Amino acid sequence: MSSYTVHVIGGDGIGPEVTSCAIAVIEAAAARHGFNVQFVDHDWGSDHFFRHGRMMPPNALDTLRQANAILLGAVGHPDIPDHITLHGLLLPIRRGFDQFANVRPARLYPGVASPLVGYPPKEIDMVVVRENTEGEYAPVGGFVHHHHPSEVAVQSSVFTRQGCERVIRFAFELARRREKKRVTSVTKSNAQAYSLVLWDRVFQTVANEFPDIETESLLVDAAAMNFVRRPHSFDVVVASNLFGDILSDLSAIVRSSIGLAASANLDPTLTYPSLFEPVQGSAPDIVGRGIAPHGSDLMRRDAAGSHREGGSGARRGSGYSRGSGGGQVLTPDLGGAKTTRRCGRLSWRGWDSWSYARAEPDREVVRMPPAPSTGQPARPFVLRSSGGRTDAVC
């Protein structure tokens, strides 16, 4: 029986409520499909900061390196500036583990209403692929005359050819496994005449390798407008770190709620473990009430959808409404009245009623890396494509 090690950083606010739900779903999947998962819990985050003056121990990345995958709940505390919490935990993991492809699927599910009037289920089905290790988030800059009236702040973007190329190529490979087979590049080369001009050039070069994929290039402002005006037309959208950050929130809300948004920070080379997180944040106002948005707890809806659809074409599309009780099993952020755990359990039932095992291994896109300690062969549990769709799993 295969064994995996998943390291869990519940983190701040509602984070631990969300990860505990995710763990329950993974355990149910493991029991049903015959593999072992060992969870290693880390009490890192803002409480750790209050006790030790840092968000995680200095050797944290060495510890996490042993994992097959990492689950993160949330990072952020009202009493600590966000740039301290984020630069002390999430961002060093993304960069340190070279998780260059940040995959954020956004699909409109049956039983969940879009704020855009008149959008039927499944009409919105896009994935934002965000560059995750450089661009506008590169830690390059500083202050001059710090805290004096003449203070100057410099923050530089870093766009490398290799960095652009690998994430753009990832987006094209993803599009090949989906139905619409379209990649939209997000740019602003009319104003950013170096970084985004390089991005555009690399996009064109990579696009030439994929003649079967339809392409478009949109300025980021036009992309924002079109996410609202014609969200159904998008398939895979590839963007720089900051543009992808902003547009992925927009993609989440046009299909209902940031509470359904999930984020896979992938190192597709499998050199390092990948990290899976919800996008909703620590939500201190609802901590402990048991009503944290459940949809992102495991990215399991997309997972369930892709596996099921791969196994049984006749049943396509009904899994979410089953899992969500046709819209009755929803947390308050989605207009329902159920708790996080209840939704997790009921959703799992919906998922469980389909055959996870039917997923087609040959359509696998990204595999979980073997743990260095166990040397176990990788079992696909991360990102897969089936039935023409690719979704992040776990």
CB of 239 to Mn ion, least distance (A): 12
Return the residue nearest ligand IPM (CB atom): 86
Residue 86 contact among ligand IPM, Mn ion, none, beta carbon within 5 to 8 Å by kind? ligand IPM
Q: Contact letters (x/-) for Mn ion, 44-63, by CB under 5 A?
A: --------------------
Among 245, 267, 302, 333, binds ligand IPM (CB under 6 A): 245
Question: Is the Cβ of residue 184 or residue 280 nearer to Mn ion in the bound state?
Answer: 280
Is 277 a binder of Mn ion (CB under 5 A)? Answer: no
Q: Are 171 and 221 in contact (CB under 8 A)?
A: no
The CA distance from 332 to 336, in Å, is 5
* Identity of the residue numbered 377: P
Q: Which of Mn ion, ligand IPM, none does residue 251 bind to, with CB < 5 to 8 Å depending on kind?
A: none
- Nearest residue to Mn ion, using CB? 245
Q: Specify the 3-state DSSP secondary structure of 306.
A: helix
Size of the site for Mn ion (CB under 5 A): 1
| Residues in contact with ligand IPM, shown as a per-residue x/- string from 74 to 93 under the rule CB under 6 A | ------------x-------
Residue 394, contacted partner among ligand IPM, Mn ion, none, CB below 5-8 A by kind: none
CB of 149 to ligand IPM, least distance (A): 29
Q: How far is the CB of 245 from Mn ion (least distance, A)?
A: 4
Using rule CB under 5 A, residue 136 touches Mn ion: no
Q: Which tokens is 284 given?
A: 């201190």
User: Closer to ligand IPM at the Cβ: 34 or 81?
Assistant: 81
Q: Does 14 bind ligand IPM (CB under 6 A)?
A: no
Binding-site partner at residue 297 among Mn ion, ligand IPM, none, CB < 5 to 8 Å by type? none
End-to-end CA distance of the chain: 19
* Residue 280: alpha-carbon gap to chain centroid: 11
d(CA 60, CA 6): 14
- Contacts of residue 251, defined as CB under 8 A and 6 or more positions apart, other chains included, come to 104, 106, 126, 128, 227, 231, 234, 237, 261
Q: How far is the CB of 263 from Mn ion (least distance, A)?
A: 8
Closest alpha carbon to 76 in 249, 283, 242, 278: 283
Query: Least separation, in Å, of the C-beta of 63 and Mn ion?
Result: 26
Query: If we measure between CA atoms, which residue out of 263, 267, 272 comes closest to residue 63?
Result: 272
Q: How far apart are CA 264 and CA 170, in angstroms?
A: 13
> How many chain residues interact with ligand IPM (CB under 6 A)?
4
Examine residue 245 and tell whether it contacts Mn ion (CB under 5 A): yes
Nearest-angstrom CA–CA distance, 365 and 131: 18
CA dihedral 269, 273, 279, 281 (to 10 degrees): -150
**Residue 124 touching ligand IPM (CB under 6 A):** no
- Regarding 279 and contact with ligand IPM (CB under 6 A), the answer is yes
Rg (CA), the chain: 20
Contact 26, 58 (CB under 8 A): no
Sheet hosting strand 69-74, strand order edge to edge: 36-42, 3-11, 69-74, 274-278, 262-266, 101-107, 125-131, 236-239, 182-187, 214-219
Beta strands in 279-322 (DSSP E): none
Restricting to residues 322-381, name those near ligand IPM by CB under 6 A.
none
Q: Which stretch binds Mn ion (CB under 5 A): 100-108, 111-119, 136-144, 242-250?
A: 242-250
Q: Closest distance between ligand IPM and the C-beta of residue 366, in Å?
A: 19
Assess 24 for contact with ligand IPM (CB under 6 A).
no
Per rule CB under 5 A, is residue 17 in the interface with Mn ion?
no
246-265 positions binding ligand IPM, by CB under 6 A: 263
Give the span between the Cα atoms of 296 and 255, in whole angstroms: 13
Minimum distance from residue 95 beta carbon to ligand IPM (Å) = 11
The footprint of Mn ion (CB under 5 A) covers 245
Positions in the binding site for ligand IPM (CB under 6 A): 86, 245, 263, 279
